[in-house]
Structure 1
C-alpha cells in the first residue's frame, strides 16, 4: 500500500522516477536560473546597459520580463525556456487526477507567477515538493523526459 508520504507525488498518483514524476527542487532551481538569466540578458539588450549595471526603475525590467515569460509560456505551453531545457512541464493537478495532463491556462499561470515573483512562496514546499505558488494555482511541475 502506497502512502501519501512514500515519495513526492505518490498521493497524486504520479510515478516515483522518470517521465511524469514530480520535478526535483534542484532541477526546478536551475530552470528558474536559466529563465532569470535569459530575461536579464534581454533587459540589458533592450536598455543598452552593460551587464550588471541596471539601476532604479530599470532594475525591475528583468523581473517584468520574467513574469511575462512565465504567464504566457506556462499558461499556453506549460513550460518556460528553463523548464524545456531541464525537461520539466507544469500541469493542472485536477486534470492529472482525471488522467488528462493539461496546460495550466493563463489564470493559473498568473496566480503562480505573481507568487513565484515574490520568491518566498516558492520556498515553502508541501510533501509533494510543490511550492505555495503551485498549490495556490493548482499546479505541479512534472518531468517531461
Structure 2
C-alpha cells in the first residue's frame, strides 16, 4: 500500500484498541512465555548469567503470538485482556501466518510503539495488514463485516 504525496494514509474504518491495553497484553504474553521456558529449563538455568534460556522466551513469545493470532485472532495476552487482531479491511479472517510472523518479529524489535499512524495501527500492524481491536469492535466486525 503506497501513499501518494499530499494524500493522507488510509485509515481503518473502525476504532482500534488503546495502547495501554496492548501493553498489558504483551506483558501477559511475556510472563506466560517466561513461565513456559522456566517449566522446561528450570528456574536455576533461566537465572544463570549468560544463559540462552532468556532467548528461548523470545522464541516462545514469537511462536505463541503468531500461532494463536492466526488460529484465534489473538495471542494469549490479547485473549486474556479482551483484544483481537483483525484484517485492516475489517472483514475476513487472518488466513496467512507468514505476515503474522513478520508482525511478531517487528514487535520484538520494539519499533512498532515508536512508529504508528493516527488510526492507532503500529508498524507491526501495517506490515501484516492488521489492526488490534477490543472485543466489542471484534464482535461487530465478525457479525457485520464493518
2:40 corresponding residue in structure 1: 46
Matches within 5 A, 1:27-66: 27-50=21-44, 53-54=47-48, 55-66=50-61
SS at the partner of 1:120?
coil
CA deviation vs aligned residue, 1:92-141 (integer Å, no higher than 9, x gap):
113x1xxx242353022111011111112333111011110111111100
CA RMSD, Structure 1 to Structure 2 (Å):
2.0
2:96 corresponding residue in structure 1: 105
**Off by >4 Å, runs of 4+ in structure 1:** none
Query: When the two structures are aligned, how many residues end up with a matched partner?
Result: 126
Partners of 1:88 and 1:128 lie apart in 2 by 16
Pair 1:91-2:86 in alignment:
yes
CA deviation vs aligned residue, 1:43-82 (integer Å, no higher than 9, x gap):
1111012496153322201000001001111122111111
Partners of 2:25 and 2:54 lie apart in 1 by 21
Structure-2 change in CA distance of 1:51 and 1:40 (3 Å): farther
User: Normalising by the residue count of structure 2, what TM-score does the alignment of the two structures yield?
Assistant: 0.78
Gaps of 5+ in 1: 1-9, 15-20
2:64 corresponding residue in structure 1: 69
Gaps of 5+ in 2: 1-9, 137-146
1:5 corresponding residue in structure 2: none
SS at the partner of 1:122?
coil
Structure-2 change in CA distance of 1:120 and 1:141 (3 Å): same
